[in-house]
Every structure is written in C-alpha cells, then in structure tokens.
C-alpha cells in the first residue's frame, strides 16, 4: 500500500466499521457477520461506551494504519453515507441499550458514595427523633418522680423505664421515693412503651453508626484514620462523594457544614467561619478558642491530602502520617498557649 497524504478516517459503530476519505467516499467496509443477539449487541455497545474498538474497527485500523479512528458520533468524522442498521438490527440495539441502562442503574447500588449518603441521612433523621423522644421521656418521668436526677446518666433511664413493671419499681431502681400521686395504669403503660421505644431507637442508632463506620473505613481509609470514620463520612457526603471531596481546596473542606456562616460572610462581610463539620474533631472542639482557627486550617489542609490519597488510590495513612499531623498541631498549641490580648 502506498502512503497517502490525504486524511483518512475509520468510522465504526456497534455493527460495522468503514474507512472514509475527505470526500466522504467509503474506501473499505467491514460488517459484523456474527449472529445478531441482544447479548452480543450489549457487549458491543459497552465497548463503544468504554471508548474501545470493536473487532471490525480494529481490523480496519490495522489495514489503514494512517487513519484516525473514531466511533460514530465523533465530531471529527466527515459527512458520508455510512452503512445504516436495518430496522430489525436497530430494534436489537434499542433493546440492548435499555438492558445496558438497567444494568448501569443496578450497578450504581455498588457506589459507596450513594450508600454512605443513605447511612448518614438515616442516622441524622433517627438521631433527631431519638433526641425528641428521649427528652420527652426524661421530663415525663421527672414529673412523677421529682426526686430523680438524670444529669449523670440519662442513657440508662430508657432501659429502666422499659424494664419496670410499675412506677414503684421504677422509683426503686432510680433510688427514689414514690410520691403520692402517680399515673393511671394505662398512662403508665404508654410511658413504659415510650421507654422501650427510646431504648430500641438507641440501639438502632448504634447499629447504623457501626455500619457507617465500617463503610467509611473501607471507602475513606486515610481520612478515617485522621479524622475518625464518622467525620470522614460526613465530609464526603457533604461534598457529594469522595471524588468531589478530593477535588475541593483545603479551605473549602475546612468550612464544609458552615455554609450559612460562610455565605453570610460573603454577603455582609461578617467574620468568616473558622470551621464547619471539622469542628467535631476533638483537636479543634477541645482546643481553647484562640487556637481553633489555626488548628482547623492545619487539619483541613492535611485532611484534604488524606482524602486525595483515598480517592486516587494512594498509600493508606498509618500512625506515622497521623503522628506528623499531630506534631504540627502540638506546635500550634505550644506557640499560642495564651489568648492574644486586645
């Protein structure tokens, strides 16, 4: 074959491939000879979706090595009378496309970002209702047993209410005296049920958090090691996925969750927020106020590196890397032991 100076293209779709020149002349043609089945059409459409070559296209590309190869739909291809599928072939392809779409939808269930989103959403909703039920229970019990004090340990209360057969038994387990007036029998029953509910929801919350932790540790191992799995999961969900989180600047990660304060800052010039969800981290929430901004900046800049390491398949952070970050945070603590005056 002689060398050509003119441009040549290989066009291909799921069932055919053609070599075409600048005038739109078809110079060579390969049509798939195999048995037309939906499965086969699916695998070929998948090749196209993955920007790979079909066997026909590969053969023509080998025959015309100087040609530039493009699948149907590419903007680069010239106008030409490309071979069109018959009505039956088009029907097969349409059915294959629908099946592929269904497979793609089913596959999206494997996306840990979507799974984390549901886990975190369910946790938040359940926690909100648990808090409401629990505070009602505390007030309710305290109405009948005014002596009882729960500051120390409210968590055991639900179990005690649920396990008591009567108010007298509850008072005893709380170490209090039984007052003169008490609830009716039916009233006590619903109070008891309310205790059972608080206990059940509390347990469910625990299971939910364990599931979130487990998934976050698989999906975001480095970020989980640095910030804890729940905070890592929250940041990832807030950024709408691990890949999006990894592409954020550190400053954005730092204020994720403080959108209200942040946009208020942009709008009115109020002081910018120092921290968003990242405040949950004990290095920040337990730090004295004047160190928090500084520490959260440092932590956010390291956290975004950990997130990128997770998203792009980097090394998983271990005690060594975490130790380095902690040393930096310690430096800040040592440098500013006291609040600036004035």
Partner 1 sequence: MSGRRGGGKSLSWAVKFENRGLWTRNAVAGTSVYGETRRKFSGSEYRRWDAHRSKLAAGMLLTNNDPSILLPEAGTQILYLGAGHGTTVSHLHDHLCGKDNERGGRLVAIDIAPRCLRDLTHLARSRKGLVPILGDARKFTTWGALIQRRVGWLFQDVAQAGQVDIFLSACARFLAPEGLALLSLKAASERFSDKDEDEVFAEVGQRIVAAGYQLVEAISLAGLEQQHTLFVARRII
Residues that bind partner 1 (CB under 8 A): 12-14, 45, 48-51, 70-75, 82, 84-85, 90, 93-94, 97-98, 100-102, 104-105, 107-108, 111
The answer to whether the beta carbons of residues 325 and 298 sit under 8 Å apart is yes
Query: Closer CB to partner 1, residue 95 or residue 125?
Result: 95
Query: Closer CB to partner 1, residue 71 or residue 293?
Result: 71
Strands 8-12 and 16-21, by their bridges, are: antiparallel
Distance CA 209, CA 236 (A): 15
Kindly state the smallest distance separating residue 18's Cβ from partner 1, in Å.
12
The answer to whether the beta carbons of residues 59 and 30 sit under 8 Å apart is yes
Query: Closer CB to partner 1, residue 57 or residue 307?
Result: 57
Question: How many C-beta neighbours within 10 Å does residue 246 have?
Answer: 21
The answer to whether the beta carbons of residues 81 and 26 sit under 8 Å apart is yes
Q: What are the tokens at 293? A: 């901004």
Residue 29: phi and psi, rounded to 5, are: -145, 135
Query: Closer CB to partner 1, residue 109 or residue 319?
Result: 109
Element (H, E) at 12: strand 8-12
What's the residue count for the chain? 342
Coil, strand or helix at 76: coil
Kindly state the smallest distance separating residue 44's Cβ from partner 1, in Å.
9
Kindly state the smallest distance separating residue 214's Cβ from partner 1, in Å.
23
Kindly state the smallest distance separating residue 111's Cβ from partner 1, in Å.
8
Place of tokens 């998983």: 316
Query: Closer CB to partner 1, residue 201 or residue 239?
Result: 239
Kindly state the smallest distance separating residue 118's Cβ from partner 1, in Å.
12
């Amino acid at each position: 074959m002689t060398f050509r100076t003119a441009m040549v293209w290989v066009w291909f779709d799921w069932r055919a491939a053609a070599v075409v020149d600048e005038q739109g002349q078809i110079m060579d043609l390969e049509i798939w000879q195999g048995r037309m089945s939906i499965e086969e059409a699916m695998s070929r459409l998948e090749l196209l979706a993955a920007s790979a070559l079909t066997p026909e296209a590969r053969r023509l590309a080998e025959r015309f090595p100087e040609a530039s190869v493009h699948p149907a739909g590419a903007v680069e291809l010239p106008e030409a009378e490309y071979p069109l599928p018959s009505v039956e072939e088009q029907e097969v392809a349409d059915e294959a496309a629908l099946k592929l779409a269904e497979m793609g939808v089913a596959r999206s269930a494997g996306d840990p970002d979507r799974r984390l989103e549901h886990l975190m959403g369910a946790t938040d909703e359940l926690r909100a209702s648990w808090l409401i039920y629990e505070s009602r229970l505390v007030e309710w019990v305290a109405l009948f047993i005014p002596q009882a004090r729960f500051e120390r340990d409210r968590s055991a209360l639900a179990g005690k209410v649920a396990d008591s057969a009567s108010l007298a038994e509850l008072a005893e387990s709380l170490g209090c005296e039984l007052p003169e007036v008490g609830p009716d029998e039916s009233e006590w029953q619903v109070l008891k049920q309310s205790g059972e509910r608080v206990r059940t929801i509390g347990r469910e919350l625990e299971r939910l958090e364990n599931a979130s932790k487990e998934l976050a540790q698989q999906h975001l191992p480095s970020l989980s090691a640095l910030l804890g799995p729940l905070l890592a999961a929250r940041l990832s969900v807030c950024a709408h996925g691990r890949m999006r989180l990894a592409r954020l600047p550190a400053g954005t990660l730092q204020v994720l969750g403080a959108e209200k304060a942040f946009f208020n800052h942009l709008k009115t010039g109020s002081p910018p927020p120092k921290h968003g969800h990242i405040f949950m981290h004990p290095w920040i929430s337990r730090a004295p106020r004047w160190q928090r901004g500084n520490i959260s900046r440092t932590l956010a800049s390291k956290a975004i590196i950990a997130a990128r390491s997770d998203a792009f398949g980097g090394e998983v952070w271990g005690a060594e890397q975490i130790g380095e970050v902690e040393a930096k945070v310690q430096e800040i603590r040592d440098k500013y032991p006291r609040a600036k005056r004035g």
